[in-house]
Amino acid sequence: MAAPNIETITSLAKRRGFVFPSSEIYGGLGSAWDYGPLGVELSNNLKQAWWRWMVHERDDMEGIDSSIIMNRLVWKYSGHEETFSDPLVDCRDCKARLRADKLNYPAQDTRSIEEAIKQRAVQCPNCGSTDLTEPRPFNLMFRTAIGAASAEDDPSVLAYLRPETAQGIFINFLNVLTTSRRKLPFGIAQIGKSFRNEVTPGNFIFRTREFEQMEMEYFVRPGEDERVHQEWIDACFNWYLGLGLSAENLRFYEQPKEELAHYAKRTVDIHYRYFPEREDDERQWDELMGIANRTDFDLRAHSKKPEDAEGKRLNPDSTEDLSYFDEATKERFYPYVIEPAAGVNRSALAFLMDAYTEKINDKGEKRVVLKLHPHLAPIKVAVLPLAKNRPEIVQMAKDIKRTLQPAMRAVYDDTGGIGKLYARQDEIGTPFCVTIDHQSLEDEAVTVRDRDTWEQQRIKVADLREHLQKQLQVTSDK
């Protein structure tokens, strides 16, 4: 089972402290969200799991953390100033601003969206009007100014908040290559915030103007790119499966030529079934991550380049040539780049939706159990005293929590009856609850309850930390 729709997760997330609407006391800010106490743990766990898999557990990877605000020329030569835009359409009746490529338009209609809009064959999803303006490009980069001057008075101070983390990797290619003494193939990974002035943000944390990306640029010899690209497509899919997403809610999407970004030779997206409630199967899916073959576009674009036939440098502003010299073959060339690019927020949403299950307890009551993979679960163990009026039991529970907390995120809770306490932890995905009862005072043992099976096991306090650590290592069986 998975969540029946995004709204179910939105309300659970607000109620339990995963994600709150941002700036709510001032009326909010469109689609901006803040991670609460549980959300920040989930998001940190997700980023750690990705970093461990992508960087630590491989032999061919380095990591970096580059600036959000970079020299404007980065975005000039990457092509973003010119082309990083979405087609914007206005509804002349209700004044809604819409993204032309996201308008509801039957796939079997062979007209281009521009033609269909001109012929009034497309409806505004807001008011149903067919009176839409022609699509025009809207650049998604957020503009800012560096220092005290304004960019209107002095264009040289214009800067952008980065719309992707990838460019910070390309412009550091030589730095990383020379300091790490790497040889092809190798990759550079980065996790960080990106910003896009989205025309139509929405669907909770699926599309926001500020979001986090986990990106990796893998540099290979031209000619090896297609094989390596396919290997990364499969590896990324398996990573999501390994962390608990169900295969039936994931699919590959091969981007058709007309959808490809200006730098891409081939891009395969991994889609998640974010909208299971929609009748039309095709509309149930949307992008979780993209894996692109960016060719040598970016490294070339940022290179001062050896003089070309007409004696001109192609990038007159760059001071470096980002080509690679292969010592073995004595060849110099621009590596091809394979890029797996995932969103932290969209991944968190997919994991939350997929983990959502409902279960009926022995009293016939409905319980929500969030079957998050133990590596992702915000809290690993809750320590619960069965009799909070017995100071020795309370003390023992607090002591146990303290011995566990250097090894795992543990919480103590005595603010309800045991049924309620279990239900609370199930709903936020805590894999284990530990209860301390009268017997514990005598036999130095506690009850460990499993979130998914609700089975209970008696464990000696002396063995508890090691027992839980072992259990948390294993992959949860959904």
> From residue 324 to residue 343, what is the string marking binding to ligand ATP with x (rule CB under 6 A)?
-----------------xxx
Report the C-alpha gap between 92 and 169 in whole angstroms.
42
The smaller minimum CB distance to ligand ATP, of residues 36 and 201, is found at: 201
For 146-164, letters b (16+ CB in 10 Å) and e give: eeeeeeeeeeebbbbbbbb
Residue 398 tokens, joined: 């607090």
Pick from 77, 173, 211, 422: which binds ligand ATP (CB under 6 A)?
Answer: 211
Cis, bond preceding 137 (omega within 30 deg of 0): no
CA end-to-end span of the chain = 10
Please give the C-alpha separations between residue 214 and each of 71, 90, 185, in angstroms, as whole numbers.
Answer: 22, 33, 20
Q: Quote the least distance from Cβ 172 to ligand ATP, whole Å.
A: 19
Binding flag, residue 345, ligand ATP (CB under 6 A): yes
Q: What angle do CA 338, 263, 213 make, to 5 degrees?
A: 55
Q: Quote the least distance from Cβ 287 to ligand ATP, whole Å.
A: 5
Pick from 213, 293, 425, 430: which binds ligand ATP (CB under 6 A)?
Answer: 213
Beta strands in 164-233, from DSSP E residues, in sequence order:
186-195, 210-220
| Other Cβ atoms closer than 10 A to 350 | 28
Residue span binding ligand ATP (CB under 6 A) among the ranges 118-126, 284-292, 322-330, 464-472:
284-292
Residue span binding ligand ATP (CB under 6 A) among the ranges 109-117, 142-150, 287-295, 389-397:
287-295
The smaller minimum CB distance to ligand ATP, of residues 348 and 397, is found at: 348
Pick from 39, 87, 192, 290: which binds ligand ATP (CB under 6 A)?
Answer: 290
Q: Quote the least distance from Cβ 290 to ligand ATP, whole Å.
A: 4
The smaller minimum CB distance to ligand ATP, of residues 212 and 426, is found at: 212
Report the C-alpha gap between 248 and 267 in whole angstroms.
21
| Nearest residue to 238 (alpha-carbon basis) of 59, 53, 452 | 53
Q: Quote the least distance from Cβ 63 to ligand ATP, whole Å.
A: 18
Pick from 41, 198, 225, 296: which binds ligand ATP (CB under 6 A)?
Answer: 198
Q: Which residues of the shown chain bind ligand ATP in the complex (CB under 6 A)? A: 164, 196, 198, 207-208, 211, 213, 287-290, 341-343, 345-346
